[in-house]
Chain A
């Protein structure tokens, strides 16, 4: 149970041992440490959304959506500008879970990647509205500004070979205010 795909990757990312035994809150173990807190999602929902995002932008030579913390972006924005999408997420995530369990009696996050992809293709057809929403939010969380909770360590920008925003023409004390 503890040896999921995400757990291996997360452990590699954080260094061995740091997250051992913290299976229940794997995705919530951000770089900033701290406990498992989510603003909108339940821990189980967060785990599912994290796995969906990782399918949309998977890890290869560079970090995927999971390592880039995209689910944090979505969770945070669901308490801000994305409030109107709360119901869509609650319902959509439940739909993905149901499709996964129907397929192989497992939670979506526990399926092997190829089966996750199959389930998502199903969802893309059956609930295209929800899928389009998660897809575009994943892109925003991965390629958008880290200040909004995603794109951890500018993973998305580094993948494209783009240097960080230079801050020119401002006084040093203003840089911190960002």
Chain B
């Protein structure tokens, strides 16, 4: 039996898809929201430190599962291997209603004005496709504001002199300082830096009908036990459903977007929770599966008109895959710095995001989220033996006396860092899997090394007796901050979507998630994804009403 035709079908219910579902449903469009994962809630909090979304030793906490969703990883030497969803290198985000926003750390950064104009500011960087965004900070400011107030952001950015202009402060105050904050704040001031309270999508006072954070140590990677952390699963998606115009279908894996005879998209073919093949027709198709899966869906949507994938006439779909190059430093203190108060990350500086001599960008620096015992094993410095009595003694001595400062370095996009549809390997449903290849730009690593130096100096100034660097990684970068694979731009030859997130080649298909990011900022990207989603939805609704008005 054919499914009832709707105005819009959205593939993916994360930061991008959740917002679009609510905006379109509220505007009166009939919407079907497809999600391959399950609906989970605060009651699904298991506080399992070996199986969550950040530590996946025993599997992903919130999907996808290992058995059905392989990817192919191509090493820099050309070697290929099939990786399961919980293995390193997979570049997983999540597969559940809310996507990454269900279990993330929830830092809610606005990008800075410069982040949208990287090419103009820093010029061409050899080996990189560094480019300006076709939209500027000014275009997005109203939507950043909307995201902050509709969803609810806490924090206090008033002491950050580098922030872009904003119309009003954040709706909720920050959490009271933890011990790390009390050490790092005066230290930053002594160094001439400008510390302030990290903006977070986390209730610190009752907001939107949900209570405040109880400051437990199971934050990033876990379900929030008291539902104080904000994602699309507990804000816009319930609102979308409440309009009566939106249907959420979970357990649904999109196969491809199919076209009609005239080259417009007709609908989405997917496998439902019982593995039945379904076709949902719609006037508008919105792809919001995250940078890897969105690109994969377009590339798997081949047809006579688009033999290499939908919107891929100029071979840009899947290109410029990027994330963040994290680096920083840890320091050992002579006294306890651990106070068992989550989320832990509270203080940041933006002094090094731009304007670093000789470098094309930088990063925000912030103290790290609270660390669980097994996670701390990963922070043991190289000068400590990796096993035996000395290792154990270091764990005992340092666990409560270590402060870590890290930063997400803005990466130089690389054309050959990419997602392809693998020609051989298919998933449980027989769909070609994502094939990830390429590496990160050497300049990204250079900047990240500089950031580690700065983090080191900050931790030292705070009173650490001994510090050690956390050097940047190598190889392909994507992970939970994955972005860039369906670049937004004015020129159809060098981008995938226009500045309203619409495919250049098909006028009723949109990509609305981090895939459209031209560059990914020196910040956690979620608030920008939300802002883009509000912005794109706004334009979509205006255009829709125009069409309807004429009809």
The B-contacting residues of A in range 47-87, CB under 8 angstroms, are 55-58, 60, 62, 64, 77, 80-81
Tell me how far the C-beta of A173 lies from the nearest C-beta in chain B, rounded to whole angstroms.
13
Write the chain A residue with the least CB distance to B57: A140
- Please report the C-alpha to C-alpha distance between residue A14 and residue B392 in the assembled complex, in whole angstroms: 23
A-B contact count (CB 8 A): 77
Nearest residue, chain B, Cβ from A56:
B387
Q: Mark B373-388, 1 if CB is under 8 A from A, else 0.
A: 1101100000000111
Docked-complex contact A81 and B399, CB < 8 angstroms = no
Residues facing A in B360-400 (CB within 8 A) are 373-374, 376-377, 386-389, 391-393, 395-396, 399-400
| A9 contacts the other chain (CB 8 A) | no
Is A34 close to B, CB under 8 A?
Answer: no
Q: How far is the CA of A162 from the CA of B339 in the complex (A)?
A: 10
The answer to whether residues A58 and B216 also contact, given A147-B48, A160-B399 and a CB cut-off of 8 A, is no
A-side interface mostly: loop
Interface size class of A (residues with CB under 8 A): 20 to 34
Would you call B225 and A144 a contact (CB within 8 A)? no
Which of the listed residues A58, A135, A143 has the most CB atoms from chain B within 10 Å of its own CB? A143
Our pick among B50, B393, B396 for the contact of A140 (Cβ within 8 Å) is B50
Report A-chain residues with C-beta under 8 Å of the C-beta of B216.
Answer: 166, 168
Q: Are A139 and B48 in contact (CB under 8 A)?
A: no
Interface size class of B (residues with CB under 8 A): 20 to 34
Min C-beta distance of B1 to chain A, whole Å = 39
Separation of A64 and B226 alpha carbons in the complex (Å): 35
Closest chain-A Cβ to B17's Cβ sits at a distance in Å of 29
Residue in A56, A60, A140, A170 whose CB lies within 8 Å of B374: A140
Chain B CB within 10 A, most for which of A117, A166, A169, A174: A169
The reply on B70 being an interface residue by CB < 8 A is: no
The secondary structure that dominates the B interface is loop
Q: A60 touching B395 by the CB < 8 A rule? A: no
In the complex, the answer to whether A60 meets B389 with C-beta atoms within 8 Å is yes
Closest to A52 in B: B387
Min CB–CB distance A112 → chain B (angstroms): 15
Show 8 A/B contacts (Cβ-Cβ < 8 Å), sorted by A: A57-B387, A139-B377, A140-B57, A140-B374, A144-B49, A144-B50, A161-B399, A163-B340
Residues on A close to B: CB < 8 A?
A: 55-58, 60, 62, 64, 77, 80-81, 117, 135, 138-140, 143-145, 147-148, 156-157, 159-163, 165-166, 168-170, 174, 178
B interface residues (Cβ-Cβ under 8 A, vs A):
42-43, 46-50, 57-59, 214, 216, 218, 225-226, 340, 373-374, 376-377, 386-389, 391-393, 395-396, 399-400
